[in-house]
Structure 1
Amino acid sequence: MFYYFPDNYMWSSAFNLALMAGGSLGEMNRWLSPLREGEPDGEAWGKAWAGMAEQQEAQAAEDLATGLRRSAGLRYLRASVYHASGERQIPPGPEKSASYRASLDAFEKAIELAPLNVERIEVDSPDGVLPGYLIPARTAEPAPVVIFYGGFDVTKEILYGFVEEEFVRRGISCLVMDSPGVGEPLRLRGVPSRPDYEVPTGAVIDYLETRADVDASRIGVMGISLGGYYAPRSAAFEPRIKACAAWGGIWDWGATWEKRWATRSKTVSVPWFQLPWVMGTDTMEAGLERVRQWTLVDVLPKLTQPLLIVHGENDRQVAVEDAHKAFEAAGSADKTLRIFTVAEGGAEHCQTDEPDPARQLIADWFGRRFGTLPERG
């Protein structure tokens, strides 16, 4: 992995994730280089990312004043990534809330000005309204759709940056979602995650079935990082899902967290506050107890749809052995395990070190399962 911050996995991982979502290396280096020396300073981290985002917003306003709408929109898009990247490391409180709302505001301006091929949608669910962005396929006929879930700390705005129009180019719509324990539900309404993710997924599918531009017979689900639990769990109990991809294999996430906490692992993506916050508990101990429910050990044998698991050989957040266990346990007749190696690149967690081959692989896989790409040639 590219360690922009020497010996600091968490911050370097965040740096790579921002690049993966569309950040600019030069802009990021200009604001973050002073943080590379000395002890990590959380306050300096937040100020650097906020300054980076605010500079782009100021330059976007200048572009807009001269009629350069698309240039302004793309600056706002990067500003949204920068606000979100800083926010991920900030504990719950006023600073985090302000940073998150700034990310939302910048993304909305990017939609309007760039403009982005995006429609904000809202789904009624047992957990309240779940917001998302539909990236619609440019087809005259109803198109297949893939629901895309984040994981432990990635919002729908970042998910958009991960895929943009790769599914659209293959004749597939993509719905990037904020769901329980993620994004707006967690940050604005305090809705924690839940182990039975087929419940919110069922509500999302109910919504999709109302749309004339969606082919409800070809609905897929994918998830990145902890989304590698959410997506397979949903598919195992929701027969309306026809294909499933885990961008990061999860086996027993509770066991993973027990090991992390026992060793005080330095290869985590965000500070320790994240677990009790996402779990909806007051203490780390209660969070560790609750997260034991996040296991696919008894779930994957029930999954029978086509399944793709993508993992990195050198994943230091979730062991590669977990991806192998998940693959072996899955009940799918059509299942594929793709391990990216150190030699070829993409060996880190969710291929943040070299993401494009994985992104293309996943979109192609869905294209073939849904008949929008030929099987060969």
Structure 2
Amino acid sequence: MKQLLFEDDPQFWFETLRVFGHASYGGADFGEVVATASRIKPGDYDSWHDEWLATAERLAAEAASARPVSARDAYLRASTYFRSAEFFLHGNASDPRIAYAYDRSVACFHRAVEGFEGIEHVEIPYEDHVLRGYFYRAPGAGRKPIVVMCNGFDGAAEELMFFGGLAGQERGYHVLAVDGPGQPSAIHRDGLVFRPDWEHVVAPVLDFALADPGVDSEKVALLGLSLGGLLAPRAAAFEPRIKAVVAVDGVFDAGSAVTAMLPWPREEIVRRANAAEDAEFDQLLAAGRAASPTLRWAADHGRYVMGAKTDREFLAKYLTYTLDGGVAERISCPALICEATDDLFFNGTDGQESEPRRLYARLTGPKTLLSFTAEEGADAHCHVGAQRLAAARVFDWLDETL
């Protein structure tokens, strides 16, 4: 989709488009987003924080004295804007603005959820901690199919309301949206960083879901968004209780989002990223940060969620997130692989196939590739500009598959 704002900063534009998209299910309002974005200085993380925070605070204050439906709607939008406020601050994990905006975002979301039918905040036992999320209960009696959802590298369980929580619920699905390790509630509350073997995250979530008498154990789908487009297929390769898997969008090698910006083959990058010292590589990454808003943000956030002290250490960890080595081929349940034709992160370079197509090509079981285009306004990563369209196609596929 053509950049309408922040024309020299694709990362700022993508995050703005992402917020625009949440308007589809009440998580933003067009005029509020335009007014806020127009006050932000391009490339300035402090300005981004200050303007989104100001909009969020205004709405939260208005919600506090509003009547129930108006309060619900205002709290929901305020939650989105508080979440946006702290998005670019993770380069300094001790910045107090991170915890403040995150806590306000979750609190506003919980206030908003009080105004919806059939949405419960849940905590699922996980090792010595809990995984936090939301159960969107389908209306009506009897056992229903369930979609377990996980977000990706930087998304929250709360945001999954707009990427499938409400869409699934109104179509007769239970939806269980959960933050795993490395994702917001786990990293903020417990310091749990990402792990690549996502089947160990999904297993206790499925234990929790299948203990519910309203869940049909033969109709269990797993949907992953963004990096979740690798994590969900990874879990499906090892977890037989999953009857269908959806990758929005598909990712075979997560590290390609960074290696595509570097001048060496992947094997050389892996070797140098894992070296005890490599001044040349460190300088190259520093120059890349200065030249690319996306690499600057990815490295800052990556250190935060991967538990890395340096950009090179982050990259070394991130390069382990791959479905190579026969993992993709192990997936036997039906798989829906979504593709955004102008994906900012995983579109492939120098003649290399996009990540969704690389994953699709490796699958040996029943599979469907679903491409979203510019003509549909849906070609951005995870189809953030067309969230209702994407939800409709995904759940129609699930209807046919389950």
TM-score (norm 2): 0.86
Larger mean CA deviation between 349-358 and 103-112 belongs to 349-358
- 2:303 maps to 1:276: yes
Structure 1: which 5+ residue stretches go unaligned? Answer: 371-377
Aligned partner of 1:31 among 33, 36, 58: 36
Note the C-alpha offset of 1:18.
1.1
For the aligned residue pairs, the C-alpha RMSD in angstroms reads 1.7
Greater Cα shift, 231-240 or 181-190:
181-190
State the Cα distance separating 1:157 from its structure 2 match: 0.9
C-alpha displacement at 1:267, in angstroms? 4.2
Residue aligning to 1:339: 371
Higher mean displacement: 335-344 or 244-253: 335-344
Residue in 2 aligned with 1:246?
A: 247
Counterparts of 1:169-208 in structure 2, within 5 Å, are 169-208=170-209
The residue that corresponds to 2:345 in the other structure is 317
What is the aligned partner in structure 1 of residue 132 from structure 2? 131
SS at match of 2:5: coil
CA separation of 1:39 and 1:160: change in aligned 2, threshold 3 A: closer
Q: 1:260 to 1:203 in 2, by over 3 A?
A: farther
Deviation at 1:32, TM superposition (A): 2.6
Aligned partners of 1:10 and 1:268 also within 8 Å: no
Partners of 1:13 and 1:269 within 8 A in 2: no
1:61 corresponds to: 64
CA contact (8 A) 1:146 1:222 kept: yes
SS in 2 for 1:137: coil
Partner of 1:357: 389
Distance in structure 2 (CA, Å) of the matches to 1:342 and 1:165: 25
Task: Pick closer, same or farther for the CA change 1:341–1:293 going to 2, 3 Å.
Answer: same
Unaligned runs of 5+ in 2: 263-284, 349-353
> Matches of 1:180 and 1:341 in 2, distance apart?
32
In the other structure, the counterpart of 2:50 is 47
1:212-260: per-residue Cα shift (whole Å, max 9, x none)? 1111221110011101011100100000000000001101112332334
Matched, 1:109 2:111: yes
- Range moving further from structure 2, 226-235 or 360-369: 360-369
**1:271 positional shift:** 4.7
Q: Which residue of 2 aligns with 1:303?
A: 331
Aligned to 1:375: none
Any idea what SS the aligned residue of 1:359 has? helix
Q: Please tell me the residue identity of whatever aligns with 2:99.
A: S
Structure 1 length-normalised TM:
0.91
Amino acid at match of 2:307: G
Q: Are the aligned partners of 1:147 and 1:221 in contact in 2 as well (CA < 8 Å)?
A: yes
Change (3 A) 1:39 1:72: closer
Q: Is the 8 A contact 1:170 1:364 kept in 2?
A: no
Shift of 1:132: 0.9
Q: 1:270 Cα deviation (Å)?
A: 3.8
CA distance in 2, matches of 1:308, 1:79: 33
Q: Match for residue 272 of structure 2?
A: none
Aligned mates of 1:159, 1:41 — CA distance in 2: 27
1:79 aligns with 2:78: yes
* Counterpart Cα distance in 1 of 2:370 and 2:143: 30
Q: Report if the CA contact (8 A) 1:14-1:269 is conserved.
A: no
Bigger mean CA deviation after superposition, 97-106 or 115-124: 115-124
CA distance in 2, matches of 1:329, 1:145: 26
- CA drift of 1:328 comes to 0.9
Cα 1:116/1:17, change in 2 over 3 Å: farther
Give SS of 1:48's match. Answer: helix
Distance 1:123 1:47 in 2: 34
Which residue of 2 is the match for residue 167 of structure 1?
A: 168
CA distance in 2 between counterparts of 1:144 and 1:197 reads 22
For the residues of structure 1 that align with 2:361 and 2:296, how far apart are their CA atoms?
Answer: 27
Corresponding residue of 2:380: 348
What is the distance in 2 between the residues matched to 1:348 and 1:268? 18
**Match for residue 314 of structure 2?**
287
The residue type equivalent to 1:325 in the other structure is R
The residue number in structure 2 matching 1:231 is: 232
Distance 1:359 1:327 in 2: 20
Query: What code does the residue aligned with 1:175 have?
Result: L
For residue 255 of structure 2, give the secondary structure of its aligned residue in structure 1.
Answer: helix
Q: Would the aligned equivalents of 2:10 and 2:293 in 1 still touch at CA under 8 Å?
A: yes
- Amino acid aligned to 1:30: A
Contact 1:127–1:191 (Cα < 8 Å) also in 2: no
Between the aligned residues of both structures, percent identity stands at 31
Count of equivalent residues: 362
The ranges of structure 1 where at least 4 consecutive aligned residues each deviate by more than 6 angstroms after the TM superposition are none
- State the match for 1:97 in structure 2: 99
CA distance in 1, matches of 2:117, 2:334: 31
> How much does 1:339 deviate?
1.3
Distance 1:175 1:269, change over 3 A: farther
* Contact 2:49 2:84 (8 Å CA) reproduced: no
Q: Displacement, 1:76?
A: 0.2
